[in-house]
Structure 1
Amino acid sequence: MSIQQKSLFISMIISVFIILPQSTKSTVCPPRDIIIPCKCANYFNLIECTNITSDIDLKKIFINLKNELNRQHARPVYDELKLVQTQLTHIGSIDDIFSGISFRRISLSRNNRLKRIEPNAFDSSRNITTEIMIEDNELLGANHDDNVALFDTISRFVALNTLHLTDNGIRFIPKHAFNRSQPALRELFLTDNQIERIEDYAFTGLNTIQLINLDGNHLNKLSLHSLEIENTTQSLLRIFLRSNKIQTDALPPGIFTHLRRRIYLNMNINDLSRIPQNVFQSFFKRRSILSVAKNPLKCDCDFKWLLDQGIVYNSSNPDGDYLLRDYRCILDNDDDELLMK
């Protein structure tokens, strides 16, 4: 390379550094005494708070944190917020409690006194949070109004991809719980709560959802529109209702006509005695798959329509693509069971 070529190359490099704007620095951890009893971990880029006793204390901590970030010209965005084993009963009763600081992931767990999350509590994060874990908060959602507020809060996160609402005090999923557009939400876990009912149109706005898991609740009845979801995708939708208390008569005829996607529905460990045609005909029409292991099913004449339509196993065609899976039939004449696959 000639001297002229080297000079030109160096000039180009210098020009690039001059043209490129100076970006705001990444979020950094402040001095520990500023946010005690919270902790900050640079390696994980997270804030973890325990033993917080009130909204006021939490507000002061995040005012201090925001002032420090401003002083360092650092971005007010962290990868994760953890509120663990606090004494908080409410989150968000004070406006802008997190002082404009945002979190890509939010985790609230083992807060034994937590009853309510105000809908505006995480306004600074609702456009950036992709995962929420709200687990093992035994009083959260136990009260009717607090339960409605919780789902109102959740529905405001427009970038959310995965939601875990597990092992809390949630007793029902309110009407239009997910009516706002949440185009990124793919997986919804509502396991091991106290859920007794799903109100009409609860999931209707989740048009790209791929998994809804309601295992381990107290569901004993579903209404006509409780599982209705708008259809804008052809991907398989998996719905898990294992370990509930659902009986055959608790499924109204027509409940599956509003589900216009192919579905894998797992109703293992419930109290189903029949698979009635007026309930499930529309379900199987889309080649959806139903799993009903550990249900007290009776294989009587009511099963004939399933055999006629090739939905249940037939020994004359053992390689068929059967849509009713993993079930045992209780025989009327004794206590034996007949295994069907």
Structure 2
Amino acid sequence: MEHLYVFLVLGFLAVCPPLQACPQDCHCHGGNLQHVICYSTGLNKMPKVSEQTRLLNLQHNNFPVLAPNSFKEMKGLVSLHLQHCRIQEIATGAFRGLKKLVYLYLSHNDISVVGLGAFDDLSELTYLYMEHNKIVDLPKGLFSPLMNLFTLQLSNNKVRELKAGTFNGAKDLRWLYVSDNEMTSLQPGSLDEVENLAIFHLDGNQLNSYPLAAISKLRVVEDLKLSRNPIKFIPDLAFQSFGRYMESLSMNNMGIEKFSDKAFLGVKVLKSLNIGENRLNHLPANAPYSTLQNLTLSNNPWQCSCQLAALRRFDTYSSRLNPDATCAGPSQYRGQQLKDTNAFRGCKQSAKKTRKGERY
């Protein structure tokens, strides 16, 4: 009888191995180490966790290189936190086997090298955060495995350009942040694969001309930021491809001298426009004032002549205007706020014939 008992116990252990212990100095929650928190524990190699672990938090440790198959025993991971881990390089196949991973946090490291194939197997990855690193180049095909990627955060890196094919495979990308990089160009074709972007932040780069060839491939952008790029001229049809959807446009502190007369053609639902801190003295007559809820015009050398009189076409204009917008000329109106000046009093408004059934 005793032998039978031992046999049954050994059989049970073979089928159900003992639960793994929580890694030293870490905190674990849930059965089978479902949540493992190793925050700032001095780790320099990957801890052993269960295949049932869903969340692994390794923030503030030391992993200079993420080698191939670094997480091969962690096949159940859904969320992986590697912020502030002094990572310099991500090798090809570093995340191989993480086929259930949805959230990957790699921000605030020193990453300068990302091997082609680094994201192999991450077909379920939806949110990828890589801001505040030293990434210079994004190889063609790097994001190809990420067919479900929704958010890509690449701000505060050293990326110099977006090349054709950069986003091949990432067709579901909707939110793209590449603010505060060193980009001088967006090559034609660089955004062809991500035409459904809804948020596109390009502010704080070194673009010196409006990237019309690349950006006209976008169809549904709702929030576009181009602030702090040295672009002097905004051309015709700059926003037409997504003008039916764009609600927020930030173009402040760029040195813009002129918007082309047809720059805003197709813009229908714009709610917020920030063009402060530029060199503008007038705006196109068809600028989309009627839908705006927030309008910032401050610190531009506005010429308060009839060419700018369209600002007064709407009765509620003065309540939506940044009060710091002032006239730089003519001399008799210099220093007066646009919302209060009499400079436009004698301007004639062009009458538009309204067709039957048309509303304004």
Q: Secondary structure at the match of 1:188?
A: strand
Counterparts of 1:306-325 in structure 2, within 5 Å, are 306=310, 310-311=312-313, 319-320=315-316, 325=321
Q: Deviations over 1:192-220 (max 9, x none)?
A: 22222222232223322211011222222
Paired residue type of 2:112:
T
Partner of 2:337: 339
Whether the 8 Å contact between 1:49 and 1:84 is mirrored in structure 2 is no
C-alpha spacing 1:299/1:36, structure 2 compared with 1 (3 Å): same
Partner Cα separation in structure 1 for residue 110 and residue 198 of structure 2: 32
**Hey, what does 1:197 align to over in structure 2?**
209
* Identity over aligned pairs, percent: 14
The whole-number CA distance in structure 2 between the counterparts of 1:118 and 1:235 is 31
Give the C-alpha shift of residue 245 in structure 1.
Answer: 0.6
Equivalent of 1:124, from 141, 145, 148? Answer: 145
CA–CA separation in structure 2 for the residues paired with 1:164 and 1:40: 34
| Counterpart contact for 2:129–2:152, Cα < 8 Å | yes
Q: Which amino acid aligns with 1:65?
A: F
Structure 2 residue 129 is matched with structure 1 residue 107: yes
> Within 2, Cα distance between the matches of 1:222 and 1:236?
16
Q: Give per-residue Cα distances to partners, 1:167-197, cap 9 Å, x unaligned.
A: 11112333344233543x3211122222222
Residue 219 of structure 1 is matched in structure 2 by 231
Structure 1: 5+ residue stretches without partners: 1-25, 142-146, 313-318
Change in Cα spacing, 1:134 to 1:75, as seen in structure 2 (3 Å) is closer
Q: Which residue number corresponds to residue 292 of structure 1? A: 297
Do the aligned partners of residues 283 and 177 (structure 1) sit closer, same or farther apart at CA in structure 2, a change above 3 Å counting? Answer: farther
Verify the 8 A CA contact 2:327 2:333 in the aligned structure 1. Answer: no
TM-score by length of 1: 0.66
**Counterpart for residue 174 of structure 1:** 187
Cα offset, 1:336, TM superposition: 4.5
Deviations 1:44-85 (CA, angstroms, capped at 9, x unpaired)? 5567798666xxx5451xx24246529xxx962223223345
Per the alignment, in what secondary structure is the counterpart of residue 229 of structure 1?
A: helix
Change (3 A) 1:320 1:87: closer
User: Which residues in structure 2 correspond to 1:50-89 (within 5 Å)?
Assistant: 58-60=66-68, 63-66=69-72, 68-69=74-75, 76-84=99-107, 86=109, 88-89=111-112
RMSD after superposition: 4.0
Aligned twin of 1:206: 218
Quote how far apart the aligned CAs of 1:140 are.
1.5
Alignment-derived partner of residue 11 in structure 1: none
Does residue 240 (structure 1) correspond to residue 240 (structure 2)? The answer is no
Q: Would you tell me which structure has more helix in proportion to its own residues?
A: 1
Out of 140, 159, 170, the position equivalent to 2:159 is 140
Q: Could you say what secondary structure the match of 2:129 adopts?
A: strand
- Rate the CA distance shift 1:76–1:85 in 2: closer, same or farther, 3 A: same
Unpaired stretches in structure 2, ≥5 consecutive residues: 1-31, 77-96, 340-360
- Structure ranking higher in strand proportion: 1
Instruction: Select the residue among 237, 256, 261 that pairs with 2:268.
Output: 261
Take 2:334 and 2:306, find their aligned partners in 1: how far apart are those partners? 18
| Kept after mapping to 2: 8 A contact 1:215/1:240 | yes
Taking the aligned partners of 1:67 and 1:218, their CA distance within structure 2 comes to 48
Answer 1 or 2: higher relative contact order, Cα 8 Å, separation at least 6.
Answer: 1
Q: 2:171 aligns with which of 148, 158, 161?
A: 158
Aligned to 2:260: 252
Q: Write the distance in 2 (CA, Å) between the matches of 1:49 and 1:39.
A: 14
1:281 is aligned to 285
